[in-house]
Structure 1
Amino acid sequence: MTLHPDCRHFRGDLPCRPNKTHGYVCEGCPIYAPVTQRVLIIKLGAIGDVIRTTPLLRRLRQERPGCAITWLTLTPAILPQAEIEEILKFDFASALQLQARQFDVVINLDKEKEACALLNTIEAKEKYGYALRPHDGVAWPVNALAEHKFLTGVFDQVSQANTKPYVQEIFELCGFDFRGEEYVFDTHEDKGYDWSSLPTTQPRIGLNTGCGDRWTTRLWSDEKWITLIQGLQATGYTPVLLGGEAEDARNRVLQTATGAAYPGTFPLPQFINLMNQMDGIVTQVTMGMHISIALRKPTILMNNIFNPHEFDLYGRGQIVQPNKDCVCFYRGSCKLGTSCMEDLPAEKVLAAVQSTLPLHVV
């Protein structure tokens, strides 16, 4: 029997999808697609960083037509399943089988020791990103292309002086120039979620009120959110509260205080689709920001402790910052006791919404 193990559809352990769907076999298969190169991307987490790495998929398809892409991550569910040949969750089994394979290209975008060790031990013709120095176990650039991105993570002064967005940095790390490639993302619109409970009046402005528990200096007080919500309502916008379990209690307080819509908490795919129902998003630097950018929503980004150059809104939003300079770069607690985020007036955020999504053009 004829077999085509070089085909992008071939599994080996299971029937391929064309066989299951159409009954095709390798001999005479009308959609036989031989793989020209095999590429491995190692980007384990966090979720937001995985999302904002997806523009690489577009360029890899262009520069290496016919390539088959394997992606190793801690969060497989966030990746666009239809756009990647193989998505692996990082665990012992995945690491073991990858170390027994050969790739044309391996790209490691993480400095975690386990990710760097994999770059060392997987056989590939080309390697990009970070490796593990064997004699001291330190993450290190595998070549000069990774030096810029490496140094921004080693010295605060270099990071603060950086003027390149994250996506541009990882493109350059791979030897590409960045041409504005968009994220590759699944809106989950095909799931048929029922959003009849959402307000029908538009424009709907999603308010992503949380920021995780690592960098709590990003948090905005309930009082500021209430002022913003009331300002949005008074000027003709429809605010919708967004968040996960960690934001549920806060969002219920804000809903009670303002009457703003709050649909509740949902599994990640449904939450993504909920965000896709919004006309614009107000968010801090968190997973919700990356989802908003990936969904190509006008995004009002509230930032204080990070370098604003790091974030590319693709011309669809604004970054708003406190009225005084932040002195706690990449810090989870404020040296002054009260985060400078409290010096970001709600009126400034409202003005950014109004200039980004003027009511007369919605």
Structure 2
Amino acid sequence: MELTDIKFDCIHFKGAYPCKPNKTHNRVCLNCEDYQPISKRILIIKLGAIGDVIRTTPLLIRYRELYPNAHITWLTLSPAVLPKDWIDEILTPDATAYFRLQNMAFDIAINLDKEHEACALLAKVEAKEKYGFIWKDNHIDVATEKATHKLMTGLDDQLSQDNERNYLDEIFEICHQEFRQEPYLLNINEELSMKWNSLKEQAEGKKIVGLNTGCGARWQTRLWTDENWIAFAKLLKEKGYYPVLLGGKQEDEKNRFYSEQADVFYPGHFSLEEFIALTANCDIIVTQVSMMMHIATGLKKKMVLFNNIFNKYEFELYGRGVIVEPQSGCDCFYGNSCSRERRCMHDLSVEQAMTALEDLN
């Protein structure tokens, strides 16, 4: 076989290493039965946060439908949550990745982040079609007019509050596509998920309700009160549910306290991969707007979502969730501090949360 026989455009081509058909079947490029030419080379730039990365994955389904033999590269800060079987190459942003991408050619390049580095990269990357946000004339701009609505709602609070479109509608439009209820895709460690099947034994047939008590450090105005979480956990027990406290390292002390006060199970905090596996064994999730909202959606779980500072129309719950908001409303749109003496989340009652949860059954 000569160098000219190498099928550099094959979906299986791995650069300087033997491809899978060569390793498993000793096949060579010349007359290879597994040869599949790449139909499109696609780049997706979605760096973070974790929840935003998860809720961008429905685009993978659309592009795989349009171009089954596409080669898809994704640049992200959150590789652990991405479905590996759907993406050919996952890169994390560093000097090497930026250098490589600027020396590659794509058919389609998409940037859904408004960070300067992401916009600048889209401007530098060679691509026949570019969608999303780009760097132009020393400022963030739109690659096509379809991204204008999303850019404007990010720049003007009043436009954002008046918006009645969800995030998925918006990003599909940015890519000149139409959202058709494509689901989230999520990387699930099945071995860890099996490990946490023990929850079902502990619950003894009761419905397992995962209580995700944190919401990240950026917008603490989202937090429900300690008193309400404890009272809600106790009420769940009284009504025959099996509550489980969930959270990360920053919620550990709080969850231990809640567990002691309400006498409910708290398994501890884990890696993101194991946190997803643990969540997969719950029946219903109760959470403030957080990464957990997207994990639960990706796992197709029923969900009670507490919201105050965000536009509720932004969230796509696929008919499996209900949004509960403070009865007194909220004055602090996208605010990380509260203008009231008594935070509005005090006015989201335990009874409201329980009614919403029971309406899901």
Distance 1:196 1:180, change over 3 A: closer
Distance, in Å, in 1 between the alignment partners of 2:39 and 2:324 is 45
Confirm whether residue 333 of structure 1 aligns to residue 333 of structure 2. no
Match in the other structure for 1:48: 51
1:193 deviates by 4.6
Q: Deviations over 1:215-247 (max 9, x none)?
A: 000011111001111111111111011011011
Give yes or no for contact 2:193–2:274 (8 Å, CA) kept in 1. Answer: no
Picking from 199, 213, 224, the partner of 1:220 is 224
Match in the other structure for 2:141: 140
SS at match of 2:266: coil
Give yes or no for contact 2:212–2:292 (8 Å, CA) kept in 1. Answer: yes
Match in the other structure for 2:163: 162
Aligned length: 355
Give yes or no for contact 1:197–1:263 (8 Å, CA) kept in 2. Answer: no
Picking from 109, 117, 120, the partner of 2:123 is 120
Picking from 109, 113, 121, the partner of 1:110 is 113
Confirm whether residue 232 of structure 1 aligns to residue 233 of structure 2. no
Give yes or no for contact 1:218–1:339 (8 Å, CA) kept in 2. Answer: no
Letter in 2 for 1:3: I
1:320 deviates by 0.3
Q: Deviations over 1:305-351 (max 9, x none)?
A: 00000001000010000011100000111011432111100111111
Letter in 2 for 1:269: E
Distance 1:257 1:13, change over 3 A: same
Match in the other structure for 1:360: none
Picking from 277, 280, 285, the partner of 2:289 is 285
Letter in 2 for 1:183: Y
Match in the other structure for 1:66: 69
Match in the other structure for 1:352: 356
Picking from 65, 86, 101, the partner of 1:83 is 86
Distance, in Å, in 1 between the alignment partners of 2:134 and 2:197 is 50
1:123 deviates by 0.7
Letter in 1 for 2:58: P
Give yes or no for contact 1:322–1:343 (8 Å, CA) kept in 2. Answer: yes
Distance, in Å, in 2 between the alignment partners of 1:283 and 1:56 is 25
SS at match of 1:153: helix
Give yes or no for contact 1:47–1:75 (8 Å, CA) kept in 2. Answer: yes
1:7 deviates by 1.3
Match in the other structure for 1:188: 189
Percent of residue pairs identical? 51
Letter in 1 for 2:247: G
Distance, in Å, in 2 between the alignment partners of 1:17 and 1:130 is 36
Give yes or no for contact 2:196–2:277 (8 Å, CA) kept in 1. Answer: no
Match in the other structure for 1:19: 22
Letter in 2 for 1:185: L
Give yes or no for contact 1:193–1:270 (8 Å, CA) kept in 2. Answer: no
1:8 deviates by 1.5
Match in the other structure for 2:321: 317
1:192 deviates by 5.8
1:20 deviates by 3.5
1:30 deviates by 3.3
Distance, in Å, in 1 between the alignment partners of 2:259 and 2:298 is 27
Give yes or no for contact 1:304–1:341 (8 Å, CA) kept in 2. Answer: yes
Letter in 1 for 2:342: T
Give yes or no for contact 2:42–2:73 (8 Å, CA) kept in 1. Answer: yes
Greater shift after overlay, 68-77 or 331-340?
Answer: 331-340
1:207 deviates by 0.5
Distance 1:247 1:23, change over 3 A: farther
Distance, in Å, in 2 between the alignment partners of 1:167 and 1:183 is 10
Letter in 2 for 1:141: V
Q: Give 1:24-39 correspondences, 5 Å limit.
A: 24-39=27-42
Question: What TM-score does the superposition give when structure 1 sets the normalisation length?
Answer: 0.95
Distance 1:207 1:22, change over 3 A: farther
1:84 deviates by 0.3
Greater shift after overlay, 317-326 or 13-22?
Answer: 13-22
SS at match of 2:235: helix
Confirm whether residue 7 of structure 1 aligns to residue 10 of structure 2. yes
Greater shift after overlay, 185-194 or 237-246?
Answer: 185-194
Distance 1:299 1:321, change over 3 A: same
Letter in 1 for 2:277: N
1:197 deviates by 4.9
Question: What TM-score does the superposition give when structure 2 sets the normalisation length?
Answer: 0.95
Confirm whether residue 179 of structure 1 aligns to residue 196 of structure 2. no
SS at match of 2:109: strand
Q: Give 1:251-266 correspondences, 5 Å limit.
A: 251-266=255-270
SS at match of 1:292: helix
Distance, in Å, in 1 between the alignment partners of 2:309 and 2:193 is 38
